[in-house]
Amino acid sequence: MPPHAPKYISPKHAAEDRARRRAAIYWIVVAIPAIFLLLLFGYSDQAPAVLRSATITLDQTFGYPIARFLGVPVAP
């Protein structure tokens, strides 16, 4: 059995991989919950009418996941 030599990764490639991982973690930890909270706020009475209508349209596009999460009745 031949000896196993670890794959060489240049410092440039390692830095690019770290940056890619950091960006993915940012989107998972910060952006997705922020978008979800914005959509939740869009269903509240305090949201501006433009945000409410945009939220309902966006939610309708994805099959009403936010409305179902909030327990809002949705037309089939």
pTM to 2 decimals?
0.59
pLDDT tens over the chain, length 76 residues:
677 888 888 999 999 999 999 999 999 999 889 888 888 898 888 999 999 999 888 888 888 888 888 888 877 6
How would DSSP label each residue in the chain? -PPP-PPP--HHHHHHHHHHHHHHHHIIIIIHHHHHHHHHHHTSTTS-HHHHHHHHHHHHHTTSHHHHHHT-----
